[in-house]
Chains A and B, each alone.
Chain A
Amino acid sequence: MPDQLEHLPRLTHLLPCREAQIKTLLLLLGEPEHYSYPSIFIYGHRASGKSHVTLTLLKELKMPHVVVNCVECVSLGLLFEHVLLSLFGSSHTSLPRGPSLSDFVRLYRQLCSEDPAKQTRYIVLDHAELLRDMSANLLPGFLRLQELVEDNVTVIFLSEIVWDKFRPNTGCFEPLLLHFPDYSKVELQQILAQDSCPSYSPELYSSYISILLGVFYSVCRDLRELRHLAALNFPKFCEPLEKGEAKESDAHKLWRNIEPHLKKAMQTVYLREVSSVQWEEQQQKEEKEVGELRGLSAYTHVELPYYSKFLLIAAYLASYNPARTDRRFFLKNHGRIKKTNFLKKHEKTSNHLLGPKPFPLDRLLAIFYSVVDSRVAPTASIFSQISSLVTLQLLTQVGHDDQLDSPKYKCAVSLGFVRAIASDDLHQHALRWTADHRTLHLRHHPVGSHPTSCCLWVRCGPRAAVWEPVCVQRRGIPRQPPALDQPQLCVDCAPAWHWLR
C-alpha cells in the first residue's frame, strides 16, 4: 500500500530508531477516510517513544485527534468534556453533573450527527492504566466506542503496563496490541548524539555520549533521564577544552577528566540526592570545596521530645516482640519459663523479616511505663503525642473498627532509626527536669500473653524504700470492697490499688 507509506521516509527522519513501529502504525491507520480498527493498545517502558511517535504521526498526517492525559482527568466529567471540546470544538456541550459513559455516548452521537466525520477521528488516552480505577464500564466502552457512537473514530491507548493487566473479568473487545521495545545501546547513542551542542563539533558530542553511556547504561536506560544527565555534565567535559589544556582529539585525556565525575553523578544527581541546580553550582566551584554537599538521605536524624522517644521505642518493642515475651523482658520477677520451648517454632524466624505487627494501645502504654525511668502521669499530652507520632508517620494506625475504645497501632520505623533515637545521649540536660513525686509509685508490667492483665510493684510514699513486687495474679489477694481513703491515682493505677488494700 504505497499511499500510506509515502510519508515513511520523512517520519523516520523525525523519529529515529522507530521505523518498524511507524510502519505498522501507518498501515493500521490506513486511508484517512476509511474506517480504522476501533482500538489500538500501545505499550512499552517509560521513554520508549510511545506518545512521541503517536503524536508526531497524527500531527504530521494532519488527522483530527485529541490527546487526553488520564492523570490529569481526575473525574469522568473532565475527561468527557475534554474529548468533546477538542473534537467538536463546541462550547455548548451540556454534560450533566457527574456524567456517565452513556451521557457521553449520547452527546457524542448528537454532535456527530451535526458534524459527521470525513476522516477518522483519533482519541489518544495517555496513562491508560488509570482508566481501570475510574469506572467499571469505561474501559470496555472506550474499546468499542466506534460501534457505540457509529462514527469513524479510533481510540489509542498508551500505557506502560501490558494488556493482560487490563482485561476485565467480564471480557471485552480485544484491541490491537503494539509493543514499543526499549531502545538498545546503539539506538540510544544515535538518538542522544543528535542534539549536539552548537559550539562544539558533533563528533565530540558523540564521543561524549559514548562515555556517558558507558557509565550510565548499566543503571539507567531512560532516554529523558540520560539526556538530562548529558546536559548537566557536558560543561565539565568541555572544561579542559576551554582552558586550552586539551584538544578535541585528545579523547583519552577528556575521558580521564570526566569519568570519575560521572561516577559521582551516578550516586548523587541521578538519585536526586542532590538537585541539579546544586550540582551545577558545585561544578563551578573549586575542587577544594567539593564534598560539603550532603544528599537528602544524609539528614535522617529526627529530634523528638523526650517522651515521644520513649513512646516510639516502646512501640517498636511492642511491634517486634511477641506479646508472650513481654513478661520476660519487662518484669524483674518473671516466673520460670522453660528455656527449651520458650519461643515457638514460628517465632524463631526473625521478626524483622516478618515486619511489624499491630499492637493495642494498652500494651504500648504498659511497655512505655516500664521503659521510662521516672513515674509518668498519663496526661493528655502523652496521648496527643501518640497521635502526633501517627501524623508524622512514625506510627501507623491499623484497623478501622473500634477506634475509640481500643485502637491498634503499628510501628513504622526501622531498627536503625530507633537505635539512633535510643543512643542519643537521652538529653542529659532534659534529665535534670524530672518532676518530684511524693505520691504513690506504681509500675505496670504486663503479665503473660494477655496485655490487659498486669502485675504491679508498689511502693507507698517516700517512706518505704524497697520496691515490693506483688504479683496479683499468683498471690490471689482476696476481694474486698474498695476503701474510700485511697490515694488519687490514674485510672490505670487505681484498680490495682484496690487489689492491694
Chain B
Amino acid sequence: QFYLSHKCVHCSSASGHFVFFIIYATRSLIIQIHQFILQEDLNKKMLDGLLEFVKKSAASFWCRDDDWMSRMRASEIPTAALVLGVNMPDHTITFESMTELLHDSLTPFVASVQAKECTGNRSYVWPGIKAFFPLPLQCHLCMSVCVCHLQKSPVKSPRKRLSSSQSEFLQSPPVVVIFRDLEAFSPQVLQDFILVCSQYVHQLPLVFIFGIATSPSTIQRMLPHSVSSLLCIELFQSLSCTQHLATIIDKLFLTSKFHFKFSAKVLQVLVGIFLYHDFSVCNFIKGLQLSLLEHFHSQPLSVLCCHKQEALVHAQQLNDRDVERIQQLPSFMRYVEEQVPEEQVQLLTSSEHVKGVCQKLLKSLHKYHKNFYPALRCLHVLTSILPKYPLGKQIRELYVLCLEKKVWETQEYDSAMQLIRMLAKDELVTCLQKCVEILTFCKSKKLKKVGQQLQDITATCEKLDSDRENDSSGKGLQKTDLFHLQKTLLEMKECRRTRRKTPYEILRNAVVDYIDNLVKTHLYPPESQPLYEVWYYSSSGTVRRHLNATPRTSIQTALSHPYCYLQNDSGIISSAAPDICIIYKLHLECGRLINLYDWLEAYATVATAAEGKDPSAIEGGKVDELKHARFIRAVSELEFLGFVKSTKQKTDHVARLTWGGC
C-alpha cells in the first residue's frame, strides 16, 4: 500500500498527469476483481462438496440413535481431507473463504487451527478452539466444559441469519475444527486431540477438516491405526495449480478487454517463478500487480492504455512533451521511416498531425488485438493435439512464441503444419468445429468470415464419409504364391506413389492453407505495431529483481563494490573502501580456517596504504589501537552477516562459512 501511494504521488508530481492516478486505480481494481472471481470459481466445486459433506455429517449425527445399524457402528468423527497442493501461500485465501462460507451458511462454531499455534506441549491444541468459545471464566478449558457450554448455549444469532430451509440442522450446529496444515502438526498433539474428541463424539456433532499439502497418505503416516480408526475420512481434491495458472492466463492475458499486456520476457519471468519456485497463484497475481504499477510509473504514455474511446480522448489532450515522447518511441520511428518523405516531415514537425496519426494507430492497435487472440486460440486448438506438441501443449507457450517473433518463420511451425497435413479426419473435424466456435463468437467481421468458410469445409468433410465407404471396398490380398505376392505388392507401391489425392486430402490441404493464412495475417508479433510500447510492459529485469531477489548476490556486490550502493556522485563520502570491504576481500584469500593475527596484519597494511602512508613504516609488528578496534568491529560485522564464525578447533582462528576456500 505504501509502495503504491508513494509511486503514485511520485508520478503525479513528476509529470503532472493526474490522469494516471485515476487510470491506475481503476486498473488495479479491475485486476483484483478479476482475480477474486477466479479464485471463487476455481475453489467453488471443492467448497460446495465440503459444505455438502458437513451438512450430511451433521444430519447423520442427529438421526444416529434410530436404527440398529448406527447403534452398532463404532462412532467415527467425520473428517474431510482436503488435498490442496504445495502452493502454501494460496491456502490462506482458501481457508478464509471456507471459514466464511461455513460460518455464514451452517454453523457459528468454526475453529481454524494452525500448527504454529500448538507446538510442543500437548495442552496447546486449545488456543485456536478457545477463540470461538466465549468462555470468560474458565482458566482450564477441557472438552467436557465445551460440551456443557454448547449444549446449554442458545444458538440464536446464526438461526436468524439462516433461511428457513436450512434451520432443520440447528438443534445444535456442528462444531467444525479446521487443521490448516496437517503436515506441520506434531503427531502426538494430533493423536491426543482426536482421542479426546472421540470421547465426546456422542454428545457433540464434531467435524474435522484436514488441510493437506502433499498427499493423503500423510494421514496414515501421522496417525496409528488405533487413532485413524476413530475417523471417517473423505477425500476432497482441489484443482492442480497449473490448471489455476492456465485459467488466469486465459482470462487475463488472452483477452482484448484487458489492455495492459506483457512482453514475452516478462511473461516468461512470471511463469518461470510460478513453475520453478512456488506454484503460488497469489504470488503470480502480486507480480502482475507490481508490473502494472511499474508500467504506469515508468511509461508516461501509458495514459493511452485504456479503453478505445477514452484513449482517443486522451490522445487528443496530449501535451507537447508527450508528443515528443511519442516521436521518440522506437516503434513510432519505424513507422515514420516507412512513410513517404512529405508525410515524414509532417510527422516530425506538426504535433497536431502526430496526434491525429496517433489516434489512428491506437485504433489499429485495438483492432489488431481483437483479431490476435481468436487466431491464437484457433492455432492452439489445432496444434495442441499434435504428437510431441511442436508449438507447446499449453496455450501460454504458443502465446509467448507469437509475442517473440513471427511464428510462421520458425521451424516448429513448419513441422506443426506438416503434422496437421497428416491428421485423421475425425480429429481434424473436431478441431475445426472448435475453431469455428471460437471464430463465430468473436466480434471482428473478418474472422467471422473465415469462420464461415471453415464451417463450410467441415460440412463438406462430413459429407465425404458416404462417398468414401464405397471407394474403400477395394481388392484385398488373395492367397497366392510368393512371386505373385511380390508383384502385387510392387504394383500397389507404384500405385500409391502416383495415386491422385483423395478429396479429403485436398480439403485438408485447403484447411491448412486457410489456417496458415489466418496466422500470417493476424499473428504477427506486437513489436511490429506502432505504439505497442503503450500497452506492453517489457522490463523483465525489474520484475525479476523485485520478485526473485538474490540477497546473497546483493550482499556480495555491496561488499566487493561498495560504490554501487553508496552512489557517491557528490564526492562527500571518502573514496577509501570501508573497513568491512577490505576485511571481506582479505578473507576471500584464506582457507577454511583464518588466523586472526595474520588477518589483522594484512588489514593494517592495506589500511595504512590507503591512508597514503608507507606500509613498511609499521614498526615491529605493532598495530595501532585505533586500527585494531576498527578491525575487530569489521570482523564482528562479517560474523553477523554470516561469513565467518568462531570455531572451537583453534582458539585464535575463525571458520569461513562460504565456499571457495581450499
A interface with B by C-beta (< 8 Å)? 46, 69, 71-75, 77-78, 81-82, 97, 195, 197-199, 224-225, 227-228, 230-232, 234-235, 271-272, 275-278, 296-297, 299-308, 362, 366, 377-382, 384-385, 388, 391-394, 402, 404-406, 427-430, 432-433, 435, 444, 450, 452-454, 472-473, 479, 481-482, 484, 486, 488-492, 494-496, 498-499
- Residues of A contacting B555 with CB < 8 Å? 491
User: Which residues of B573-615 have CB atoms within 8 Å of chain A's CB atoms?
Assistant: 585, 588-589, 592
Residues of B within 8 Å of A378, CB to CB, are 550, 552-553
Known contacts A299-B217, A380-B550, then 4 further A-B pairs from the complex at CB < 8 Å, ordered by chain A residue: A199-B68, A277-B234, A435-B272, A452-B659
Q: What A residues does B556 contact at CB under 8 A?
A: 488-491, 494
The smallest beta-carbon distance between B412 and chain A, in angstroms, is 11
Chain B residues whose C-beta falls within 8 Å of the C-beta of A305 in the assembled complex: 86, 275-279
B553 touches A297 (CB 8 A): no
| Bound Cα distance A334, B232 (Å) | 55
Residue of B nearest to A74 (CB): B123
How far does the alpha carbon of A271 sit from the alpha carbon of B223 in the complex, in Å? 12
Q: Which residue of B lies closest to A226 (CB)?
A: B74
Question: B136 contacts the other chain (Cβ, under 8 Å)?
Answer: no
Number of interface residues of B (CB under 8 A): 88
| Contact assessment for A473 and B85 in the assembled complex, using a CB-CB cutoff below 8 Å | no
Contact stretch, chosen from B2-10, B29-37, B288-296, B390-398 = B390-398
Known: A81-B140, A492-B552. A272 touches B225 (CB 8 A): yes
Whether A405 contacts B645 by the Cβ 8 Å rule is yes
Query: Within 8 Å of chain A (Cβ to Cβ): is B660?
Result: yes
6 A-B pairs with CB atoms under 8 Å apart are A74-B123, A235-B69, A296-B219, A303-B241, A381-B277, A490-B550
Identity of the chain B residue whose Cβ is nearest the Cβ of A227 in the assembled complex:
B72
Q: How far is the CA of A278 from the CA of B232 in the complex (A)?
A: 9
Contact A380 B229 (CB under 8 A): no
On chain A, the residues within 8 Å of B389 by CB distance are 428-429
Q: In the bound complex, what is the Cα–Cα distance between A430 and B276 (angstroms)?
A: 8
When chains A and B are docked, how far (Å) is the Cα of A6 from the Cα of B229?
Answer: 39
Contact of A75 among B140, B231, B234, B394 (CB under 8 A): B140
Closest to B85 in A: A303
* Binary interface encoding of chain B residues 125-162 relative to chain A, with 1 for a CB under 8 A from any of its CBs, else 0: 01000000000000110111000000000000000000
Which of A296, A402, A450, A490 interacts with B553 by CB under 8 Å?
Answer: A490
- Are B588 and A495 in touch, CB under 8 angstroms? yes
Interface string of B220-256 (1 = CB under 8 A from A): 1000011011011111010011100000000000000
Query: What is the distance, in angstroms, from B384's C-beta to the closest C-beta of chain A?
Result: 11
Please report the C-alpha to C-alpha distance between residue A228 and residue B229 in the assembled complex, in whole angstroms. Answer: 10
Nearest residue, chain B, Cβ from A272: B228
Q: Are A379 and B550 interface neighbours, CB within 8 A?
A: yes
Asked if B88 is at the interface of the complex by the 8 Å CB criterion, the answer is yes
Q: How far is the CA of A72 from the CA of B193 in the complex (A)?
A: 8
Contact of B49 with A by CB under 8 A: no
- Are A391's CB and B215's CB within 8 A? no
Tell me, in angstroms, the Cα distance from A360 to B235 when the chains sit together: 37
B184 in the interface (beta carbon within 8 A): yes
Residues of A within 8 A of B234 (CB): 275, 277-278
Contact residues in B for A491 (Cβ distance below 8 Å): 552-553, 555-556, 658
> Smallest CB-CB separation from B69: which chain A residue?
A231
Give A392 to B278 CA distance when docked, in angstroms.
13
Query: B58 → chain A, closest Cβ, in Å?
Result: 13
- Chain B residue numbers with a CB within 8 Å of A75 are 123, 140
- A433 & B275 in contact (Cβ 8 Å cutoff): yes
Partner of A486, one of B144, B195, B560: B560
CA distance A228 to B661 in the complex (A): 65
With contacts A302-B215, A303-B241, A391-B184 taken as known, whether A71 is within 8 angstroms of B659 at the C-beta atoms is no
State A231–B552 Cα separation when bound (angstroms): 63
Given A472-B662, A495-B659, check contact A276 B85 (CB 8 Å).
no
Q: Taking each of A78, A297, A433, which has the highest tally of chain B beta carbons within 10 Å of its own beta carbon?
A: A433
With A46-B226, A429-B392, A490-B556 given, is the CB distance from A381 to B659 under 8 Å? no
B560 close to A388 (CB less than 8 A): no
CB atoms of A498 and B548 under 8 A apart: no
> A405 CA to B393 CA in the complex, in Å?
43
Do B553 and A272 touch across chains, with their CB atoms under 8 A apart?
no
A interface footprint on B627-662 (CB within 8 Å = 1, 0 otherwise): 000000000000000100100000000001111111
Contact status A74-B72, CB under 8 Å = no
Contact of B142 among A74, A227, A276, A296 (CB under 8 A): A74
Chain B residues with CB under 8 A of A195:
72
What chain A residues lie within 8 Å of B226 (beta carbons)?
46
Q: Nearest Cβ distance between residue B484 and chain A, in whole angstroms?
A: 48
Bound complex: CA of A82 vs CA of B143, how far in Å? 12
Nearest residue, chain A, Cβ from B89 = A388
Interface residues of B (CB under 8 A from A): 68-69, 72-74, 76, 78, 81, 83, 85-86, 88, 121-123, 126, 139-140, 142-144, 181, 183-184, 192, 195-196, 199, 213-220, 225-226, 228-229, 231-235, 237, 240-242, 268-269, 271-273, 275-279, 389, 392-394, 397, 548-553, 555-557, 560-561, 585, 588-589, 592, 642, 645, 656-662
Residues of A within 8 A of B231 (CB): 272, 275
Are A488 and B86 in touch, CB under 8 angstroms? no
Nearest B residue to A309, CB-CB: B276
In the bound assembly, the distance between CA atoms of A61 and B556 in angstroms comes to 80
- Taking a contact as CB atoms under 8 Å apart, the answer to whether B393 and A428 are in contact is yes
A78 near B140 with CB under 8 A, answer yes
Most A CB contacts (10 A, CB to CB) among B85, B220, B397 go to B220
- Chain B contacts for A484, CB-based, 8 A: 560-561
| Chain A residue contacts of B549, Cβ below 8 A | 379-380
Closest to B227 in A: A272
**Docked pose: A462 CA to B69 CA in angstroms:** 75
- Contacting pair A453 B86 (CB below 8 A): no
Is there contact, CB below 8 Å, between B660 and A498? yes
Asked if B276 contacts A275 (CB within 8 A), the reply is: no
What is the CB-to-nearest-CB distance from B206 to chain A, in angstroms, rounded to a whole number? Answer: 14
- A307 near B397 with CB under 8 A, answer no
A197-B660 in contact (CB<8A):
no
Query: With A275-B234, A307-B276 in contact, do A231 and B213 touch (Cβ < 8 Å)?
Result: no
Structural contact, A71 and B192, CB atoms closer than 8 A: yes
- 7 closest Cβ pairs, A-B complex: A495-B660, A231-B72, A74-B123, A228-B74, A381-B277, A491-B552, A306-B276
Q: Judge whether B69 and A379 touch: CB under 8 Å.
A: no
Q: Which residues of A contact B592 (CB under 8 A)?
A: 450, 452-453
Docked-complex contact A277 and B220, CB < 8 angstroms: no
Q: A488 touching B553 by the CB < 8 A rule?
A: yes
Tell me the complex Cα distance, A444–B242, Å.
32
Contact B589 A479 (CB under 8 A): yes
Bound-complex Cα distance A404 to B640 (A): 10
Q: Across the interface, do A392 and B214 meet the contact criterion of CB distance under 8 Å?
A: yes
Tell me if B140 and A225 are in contact (CB < 8 A): no
> Are A452 and B656 also in contact (CB < 8 A) when A71-B192, A429-B392 are?
yes
| A429-B393, A491-B555, A494-B556 known; A72 vs B276 contact (CB < 8 Å) | no
On whether the beta carbons of B213 and A392 are closer than 8 Å, the reply is yes
Q: Which residues of B contact A234 (CB under 8 A)?
A: 69
Let me know if A74 and B397 touch, CB within 8 A: no
How many angstroms from the CA of A232 to the CA of B68 in the assembled complex? 11
Across the interface, do B123 and A231 meet the contact criterion of CB distance under 8 Å?
A: no
Contact of B217 (CB < 8 Å), options: A228, A300, A428, A482: A300
Q: Which of B143, B225, B235, B241 is in CB contact (< 8 Å) with A271? A: B225
Q: Which residues of B contact A391 (CB under 8 A)?
A: 88, 181, 183-184
B276 to nearest A CB, angstroms? 4
A306 to chain B: which residues have CB within 8 Å? 275-277
Closest beta carbon of chain A to B603's beta carbon, Å: 13
Question: What residues of chain B lie closer than 8 Å to A362, measured between beta carbons?
Answer: 659
Cα distance A385–B283 when bound, in Å? 14
B661: contacting residue among A380, A405, A452, CB under 8 A: A452
Tell me which residues across on chain B come within 8 A of A302, comparing CB atoms: 86, 214-215
Evaluate contact between B661 and A495: CB separation under 8 angstroms.
yes
A77 to chain B minimum Cβ distance, whole angstroms, is 6
